């Protein structure tokens, strides 16, 4: 790697932290790792990583990546680590406010701070399909981009350190809602003996079609114009009522559609019955 080779400190060797360190080693970087349990470092040491006895020793690097279990466990480690004048890339999962809190602390310590969220499983780190969202110091992000690109596609969202965590939770909300709907659907068709492998291909095709609706919904939300000639909210609320009724009649729980029905019903009661589904955001807000 020549001049692009950097010394990178990695704090935390859980599954994700170990994957990050492994990708950096594979790219030829000089990697020093720290973990509360040094035994976890074994496979990385065999590949050329060096084990730090303390977090402060690992922080003697061009850039330090922190990937610990929670913010509560991370902060004492950071407090005991001299990071002044260095770049800290925080890849510990948390809320936007937690990220902003660490960013404020970092600023008071003279630390260049970048917050990141990993949109991949550990096995995907370092592969073309991995993506990591970042926010915070754009200067630090640009300076360390060559290191960050090793881990996955780096996407910078802005200088508000909480943006990466905000995007993360928003995207995960879509995932969890989709999985909840899918599992409810499997239970519903399964009540008549339909196997998942028979139903799932149709579900995948349907999700592709539904994904195509999102730009139009987003445009309506941005404009605040919810007029529609396609599918009014009251029709969809009535459909949800049928889904709830059918679920109960088929002997399965109706928790997933019932929650949406309650939301849609409130939007209808607020005067959005003739509007597009996008108008439901007014109730969410």
When pLDDT is cut at 50, 70 and 90, the band that residue 1 belongs to is: very low
> For residue 213, how many other CB atoms are within 10 A of its CB?
13
When pLDDT is cut at 50, 70 and 90, the band that residue 199 belongs to is: very high
Is residue 118 scored above 90 in pLDDT? Answer: yes
Which residues face 90 on adjacent strands? 66, 115
Structure confidence by residue, pLDDT tens digits, 175-189: 999 999 999 999 999
* Nearest partner of 115 among 152, 70, 50, 165, judged by Cα: 165
Is residue 99 scored above 70 in pLDDT? Answer: yes
The two three-digit tokens of residue 84, written as one number: 């002044």
User: In whole numbers, what is the pLDDT of the chain averaged over residues?
Assistant: 96
Question: What's the confidence (pLDDT) of residue 4?
Answer: 74
Look up the CATH architecture of domain 2-160. Answer: 3-Layer(aba) Sandwich (3.40)
Strands 63-66 and 87-90, sheet pairing: parallel
DSSP 272: I
When pLDDT is cut at 50, 70 and 90, the band that residue 9 belongs to is: very high
- Is residue 277 within 8 A of residue 236, CB to CB? The reply is yes
Q: What is the CATH number of domain 167-284?
A: 1.10.1040.10
Question: What's the confidence (pLDDT) of residue 143?
Answer: 95
Q: Region 267-282: what's the mean pLDDT?
A: 97
- Percent pLDDT > 90 in the chain is 95
When pLDDT is cut at 50, 70 and 90, the band that residue 2 belongs to is: very low
Q: Could you check whether 2-160 and 167-284 share the same CATH topology? A: no
Structure confidence by residue, pLDDT tens digits, 30-89: 999 999 998 889 999 999 999 999 999 999 999 999 999 999 999 999 998 989 999 999
Question: What's the confidence (pLDDT) of residue 40?
Answer: 87
- Is residue 39 within 8 A of residue 93, CB to CB? The reply is no
Is residue 3 scored above 60 in pLDDT? Answer: no
Q: Please give the backbone phi and psi of residue 199, each rounded to the nearest 5 degrees, phi first.
A: -85, -35
> Cα(30)–Cα(38) distance, rounded to whole angstroms?
18
Question: What's the confidence (pLDDT) of residue 38?
Answer: 87
**What are the residue ranges spanned by the domains of the chain?**
2-160, 167-284
pTM of the model: 0.92
Is residue 207 scored above 80 in pLDDT? Answer: yes
Length of the chain, in residues: 285
Question: What's the confidence (pLDDT) of residue 112?
Answer: 97
């Amino acid at each position: 790697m020549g001049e692009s080779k950097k010394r990178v400190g990695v704090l935390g060797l859980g599954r994700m932290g170990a994957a990050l360190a492994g990708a950096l080693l594979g790219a030829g970087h000089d990697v020093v790792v720290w973990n509360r349990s040094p035994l976890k470092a074994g496979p990385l040491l065999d590949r050329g990583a060096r084990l730090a006895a303390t977090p402060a020793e690992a922080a003697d690097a061009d850039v330090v990546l922190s990937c610990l279990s929670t913010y509560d466990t991370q902060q004492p480690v950071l407090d005991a680590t001299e990071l002044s004048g260095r770049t800290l890339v925080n890849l510990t999962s948390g809320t936007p406010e937690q990220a902003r809190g660490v960013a404020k602390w970092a600023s008071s310590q003279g630390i260049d701070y970048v917050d990141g969220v990993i949109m991949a499983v550990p096995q995907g780190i370092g592969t073309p399909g991995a993506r990591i969202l970042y926010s915070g110091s754009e200067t630090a992000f640009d300076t360390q981009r060559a290191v960050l690109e090793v881990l996955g596609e780096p996407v910078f969202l802005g200088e508000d350190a909480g943006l990466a965590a905000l995007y993360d939770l928003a995207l995960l909300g879509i995932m969890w809602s989709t999985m909840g709907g899918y599992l409810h659907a499997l239970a519903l068709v399964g009540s008549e003996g339909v196997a998942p492998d028979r139903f799932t291909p149709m579900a995948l095709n349907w999700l592709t079609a539904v994904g195509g609706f999102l730009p139009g919904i987003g445009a309506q939300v941005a404009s605040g114009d919810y007029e529609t000639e396609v599918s009014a909210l009251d029709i969809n609320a009535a459909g949800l009522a049928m889904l709830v009724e059918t679920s109960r009649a088929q002997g399965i729980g109706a928790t997933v559609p019932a929650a949406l029905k309650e939301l849609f019903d409130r939007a209808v009661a607020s005067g959005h019955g003739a509007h597009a589904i996008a108008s439901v955001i007014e109730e969410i807000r």
